[in-house]
Amino acid sequence: MQFAPTATGARTGSLVIGNTTYALIGTGVQPPLPNPVLSIDLPQALSAQQGAVTVTLDAASRTSGAVR
């Protein structure tokens, strides 16, 4: 059995087996944000023409959040 809080912050619970109660204490944490992947496309790098910059994520995000 695993005590896995589903919300962030300190959490408590209890496990009752027969007549014995065990206190459970844990800390819920947000899953990490995926890593950004930067791609730069410069068809003619020395021509002074504009290129394109694309930012994607290396995996689907399992949470919402902001990086500061």
Confidence of residue 40 (pLDDT cuts 50, 70, 90): very high
In a domain, 67, yes or no: no
Residue environment code for 15-25, b if the CB has 16+ CB neighbours within 10 A, otherwise e:
eeeeeeeeeee
In a domain, 15, yes or no: yes
In a domain, 20, yes or no: yes
Global pTM reads 0.49
For 23, the domain range is 9-57
Structural domain total, the chain = 1
In a domain, 62, yes or no: no
In a domain, 4, yes or no: no
In a domain, 44, yes or no: yes
In a domain, 50, yes or no: yes
Mean pLDDT value of segment 37-61: 89
